[in-house]
Homo-oligomer: A and B are copies of this chain.
Amino acid sequence: MNQHTPITEAPEALVARLATAGRAAQARLARLADVEKAAALRAAAQALRDDESAILAANARDIAAGEANGLSGAMLDRLRLDPARLAAIADAVDQVATLPDPVGEVISTSERPNGLVLSRVRVPIGLIGIIYESRPNVTVDAAALCLRSGNAALLRGGSEAANSNRALMAAFQRGLGAGGVPPEAVQLVPVQDRAVVGAMLTAAGLIDMIVPRGGKSLVARVQADARVPVLAHLDGICHTYLHSAADPDMALAIALNAKLRRTGICGAMETLLIDAAFPAAARVVAALLDRGCEVRGDGRACALDPRVIPATAEDWDTEYLDAILSVAVVDGLDAAIAHIARHSSHHTEAIVTADADAAERFLNEVDSAIVMVNASTQFADGGEFGLGAEIGIATGRLHARGPVALEGLTTYKWVVRGTGQVRP
């Protein structure tokens, strides 16, 4: 068991040992049938339910230590498990078991004039390293998604959640084993010093992809130090543009929802661009202010309502994750697109308009992972996209963009079927 690893093992040796075991388990996992993987996940979900008292007791130790160490209330809330939260975690595993397995899907097939038949077939990526902070549900979510897509996982959670994570993983692995999956397919990296994270980030050839899940400083560190490819989600500085031809009621409803439904998620709107010709600008700004949103505006936005505060240059590049909004008045579609090109983090941007040509230009010319017309940016979510779950929302440009779920955890190989062809 991981927790009995002597603390004296060098970080690189530890990561190499776990990764080697994980890769061997992944090779066996790759040969299991879809139904076997699904059954193992259901067994893991049941094991989580069976271990409720042990898991909650372990979590209580983490909470007590966190309180003693002065963790913030928000951190403690993220860390805390209760019967309802644990049941939701187990139910999510059952849910992942019902998702279609992408592995084996034939992406394309062609026959060459010489009779060779070429197919591209989806295969797992291999061993995925997940580096995350204090939320213990990530331990189980990430393990389930990796396993469903035929990958092994190496999980490195925050030290605040060490007891919770060990108890969750003990149950999860026991369930997997009962379902016929090698338990080493998902492993927890024991929490010792921070050098373990560095060893994971540089384990090229052992770990195939790193997924950082956490705040900006974690993601920035991972991106700076990684030698292994990273599937990263950086900022979500999302824009909504109210075009001159936007329906005022729709614009109002979308702006309120995009900013205020939940302010702390990456798909929350951070900047509202209002066309100078949009007729209900003052009404939208007033409604936001009335609901307790702080509004920081450019000169023309300040003129819309006396409660608007002047924005500074930094505001246009800030992800507030709070009930704060920057508002600029722009002259037409080109100015809106230019503002977004300059300040967006390429996560999610939306236009509200009844003009189909303006909508298509916006969708074509805005270069973000998700572009929307007449919808709230808060829909930027794997569940809302029908993906069943998500390992994260990628803001990089390669491999996968936007909400990443099972398909994003696969790659492909070329399969060539011949009848003795040699190359002339």
Contacts and interface: CB of A to CB of B under 8 A. Distances in A.
24 contacts: A30-B365, A31-B365, A118-B386, A125-B397, A126-B367, A126-B397, A204-B223, A250-B420, A256-B422, A359-B417, A363-B415, A369-B414, A370-B413, A370-B414, A373-B417, A374-B417, A374-B418, A374-B421, A375-B418, A376-B422, A378-B423, A379-B416, A397-B411, A402-B413
A7 interface: no
Given A125-B398, A396-B229, A379 B423 contact: yes
Contacts of A271: none
Given A112-B384, A397-B125, A413-B368, A376 B208 contact: no
B413 A373 contact: no
A423 B263 CA distance: 13
Please give the count of copies of this chain that the complex contains.
2
B373 A341 contact: no
Contacts of A204: 223
Contact of A375 (B30, B116, B402): B116
Nearest to A366: B413
Given A209-B398, A398-B399, A372 B418 contact: yes
B379 A116 contact: yes
A110 B386 contact: yes
A419 interface: yes
B420 A411 contact: no
A254 B422 contact: yes
Given A229-B229, A376-B422, A421-B374, A414 B398 contact: no
A415 to B, nearest CB: 5
A423 B31 contact: no
A373 B411 contact: no
With most chain B CB atoms within 10 A of its CB, the pick from A209, A224, A253, A397 is A397
A413 B367 contact: yes
Interface string A342-367: 00000000100000000100011101
Contact of A412 (B401, B422, B423): B401
Nearest to A346: B413
A97 interface: no
B398 A229 contact: yes
A311 interface: no
A416 B250 CA distance: 16
B112 A257 contact: no
